[in-house]
Amino acid sequence: MKYIASIGLFFVFLSLALTGCHDQFDHFTSDPNARISFSQDTLRLDTLYSEQPSSTRTLLVYNKGNKALKIDEIRLLYGVERGFRINVDGRSGQRFEGVTLPAGDSIHVFVEATLQRMIDDLPQLITDSILFRFNGKQQALRIESWCHNLDQYDLLHIQKDSVITAQRPLYIRDSLVVDEGVTLTLEAGVHLLLGDKAHISIYGSLCANGTPTERVLIEGLRRDYLIPSINYRLVPGQWNYVRLACGTKGNKLLYTTIRNGRDGLICDATHSASGEETLYAEGLIITNMKGRALTFDRARARLYNCELSNTLSTTLLVTGGVTELLHCSLVNYYAWDKREGSTLVYNLPESGGAEQTSFKATNTLVDGARSVIRIAGREPVGGEIELAEKVRDRTTFDHCYLRTALPQNNGVAYFDCIEAKQPADEVYVHVGRNREKDKMDFVYFFQPWADAPWVQKGVKSDLSTDIQGRTRATQPTIGAYEPSTEKRK
C-alpha cells in the first residue's frame, strides 16, 4: 500500500509540474506594445571577401516582459538574395514560425554570410535585416558587412615573367610558385592572402615594389575575431612561409609587410662565389610569426630601414653568408607563448666557412624581453644576441642599441653602442597592452618616444628617410623609425 501511495504522490507532483509548465507557455501576451530587445543594436560581420564564408556571430533576443511571447515569424528581409544565413536556437532555415520566447528569457540567433562577388571592385557595404513578427507588429535588427572582391587560386604557378597588380586582393589556398629564371613583380598596394597551409616558393626572383604609402601586404585570410577584442589579423600561425629557394638571386622587397604566418621569409640560397646578391630589402616588416621572421642560410643580403619583430622562435637567424643591416629594428616581445629563441642568432653552417662570412649592423636596434643578468664575480648572461664563437671576429655593431652586456671583450667589434636596459613600455609607443584599459591588445608599434635613449644617437648614413618615409634628422635615430612627435599618454 505504501508503495502504491508513493507512486500516486509522484504522479500528483508530476501533474502539478507539467501544469505549471503549460501555464507558462499557454499564457502568451497579446499586448501590441510588447517588445523584444537585442544584445546589440546592429550585428556586424566585419569585413568579408567575396565567396568566402564568414565565422558565426551570435545575437541574443530577450523577452524582458512578465509573460511569454509567441513570435509568429522570424526571417531575413531579403531571404537568400544577399548571402546572409540565420539559425534560430539550433534550427537552420530561412523562415521560422511559432517560436516561443518565455518571460524573462532569451533565444539565440546565429548569423553567417557568404557574400557574392560584386560588380565594382571597391569595397561595398552589404546590409539585410532579421525580421521578428508578433502581436500584429514587426521588429527588425540590421545586419551588415563590408565586402571586398578577390581573385582566388588553389595553385598559382608563374612560368614566365609576370606582374600582379593591386586591382583586387589575391587569395592563395595552397601555393604560389615562381619557376627558375622567372621574375614575379608585385606592384605597390598588392595584397596577398594565404590559406592555412599555403606557402610562396620562389625559384626565380621576387620583386615587391611597395612604397611608404602603398605597402605590399602578405598575410592570412581571416578577418573575424578570436575573442571580441582580438582580431585574427593579430594572431600568428595562420599560413606557412615565403621561401627564396637555393640558387635564387636578385630578389628585392621594398616596403612590404609579411605577417601572422608560421615562418616569415626563409632565404636558403647558397652564398654565391660570384658575389650576386640574394636579397635587397628596404622598408620590409616581418612580424608576428609562430616561428622565425627571417632565416638566412649562406645568403648575401642587405636590409635597410627594416623591422623584424615578435616571433616565437629566433627573430633573425643568420647562418654564414654576408649580411648588412642599416637602420633596422629587431625587436621581440612575442606574448602568445613562451619564446624559444633570441632576437638575433648568428652562426656558421655545419660545413664551416668562417672566412667567407660577415655580419655588420649599423644604426640598428636589437631588443626584446630577455634581460641581461649580472651576478657578482661572474660573466653577464642573457640578453637577445647569440653569436657563435667562430663568427665573433666577423661581426660588427656600429652605433647600435643592443639588449646584450656591454662592454664585451669577445672579439666582436662594437663602436659607440648603447646597452638596452629600459623596459619596453617606457621607450616604445605601443607594446601589446592598452594602457587605459590595462589589458593586452596584442597591437605593437615599435616607434620610440622622443626621450628614448637611442634617439638621435646614430651615425649619418645615405638613408634620408625612415621606414615610414619621414625625413631623418641630421643626427639620425638608431633603428627603423624616427621618434614619435606625439606626447606620451
Measure the CA–CA gap between 219 and 258, rounded to whole angstroms: 6
pLDDT reading at 15 higher than 60: no
Report DSSP letters for 168-213, one per residue.
S-EEEEEEEEE-TT-EEEE-TT-EEEE-TT-EEEESSEEEEE--SS
Question: What is the rounded average pLDDT of the residues 388-408?
Answer: 94
Cell representation of residue 244? 627564396
Cell 636578385 found at = 250
- At 353 the pLDDT is 65
Measure the CA–CA gap between 194 and 156, rounded to whole angstroms: 12
**Whole-number average pLDDT of the chain:** 91
Q: Do the beta carbons of residue 413 and residue 360 sit within 8 Å?
A: no
pLDDT reading at 445 higher than 70: yes
Give 374's pLDDT tier (boundaries 50, 70, 90). Answer: confident
Measure the CA–CA gap between 82 and 89, rounded to whole angstroms: 22
Q: What domains can be seen in the chain, in order of their start residue?
A: 36-147 (2.60.40.10), 151-422 (no CATH)
**Cα-trace Rg, the chain:** 30
What's the pLDDT tens digit per position in 462-479?
Answer: 999 999 999 999 999 999
Measure the CA–CA gap between 458 and 442, rounded to whole angstroms: 29
Report DSSP letters for 361-420, one per residue.
EES-EEEES--EE--TTS--EESSEEE-GGGGGGEEEES-EESS-SS--SS-EEES-EE-
Which of 44-53, 291-300, 361-370 is predicted least confidently?
Answer: 44-53
Is-above-0.85 flag for pTM? yes
Which of 137-141, 192-196, 484-488 is predicted least confidently?
Answer: 484-488
Cell representation of residue 205? 626572383
**Closest to 106 in 3D by CA, of 40, 22, 16:** 40
- At 227 the pLDDT is 87
**Helix residue ranges, H only, 215-295:** none
234: left (phi over 0), alpha (psi -120 to 50) or beta: alpha
Question: What is the rounded average pLDDT of the residues 306-333?
Answer: 98
pLDDT reading at 423 higher than 80: yes
Which of 139-153, 262-276, 298-312, 339-353 is predicted least confidently?
Answer: 262-276
- At 2 the pLDDT is 45
Say which residues have a Cβ less than 8 Å from residue 422's Cβ, sequence separation at least 6: 452, 453
Say which residues have a Cβ less than 8 Å from residue 327's Cβ, sequence separation at least 6: 304, 305, 362, 363, 364, 458, 461, 463, 466, 467, 476, 478, 479, 480
Cell 642560410 found at = 297
- At 242 the pLDDT is 98
pLDDT reading at 333 higher than 80: yes
pLDDT reading at 452 higher than 80: yes
Give 22's pLDDT tier (boundaries 50, 70, 90). Answer: very low
pLDDT reading at 63 higher than 50: yes
Question: What is the rounded average pLDDT of the residues 15-31?
Answer: 59
- At 9 the pLDDT is 45
Kindly tell me the burial class for residue 15, based on how many C-beta atoms sit within 10 Å of its own C-beta (0-12, 13-18, 19 or more): exposed
Q: Do the beta carbons of residue 117 and residue 50 sit within 8 Å?
A: yes
Give 5's pLDDT tier (boundaries 50, 70, 90). Answer: very low
Q: Do the beta carbons of residue 85 and residue 57 sit within 8 Å?
A: no
- At 273 the pLDDT is 56
What's the pLDDT tens digit per position in 116-128?
Answer: 998 888 899 999 9
Give 272's pLDDT tier (boundaries 50, 70, 90). Answer: low
Name which residue leads in pLDDT, 368 or 3. Answer: 368
3-state secondary structure of 39: coil
- At 402 the pLDDT is 98
Letter string b/e over residues 181-209, b meaning 16 or more CB atoms within 10 A of that residue's CB? ebbbbbbbbbbbbbbeebbbbbbbbbbbb
Cell representation of residue 137? 507588429
Strand partners, 296: 267, 318
Measure the CA–CA gap between 395 and 414, rounded to whole angstroms: 9
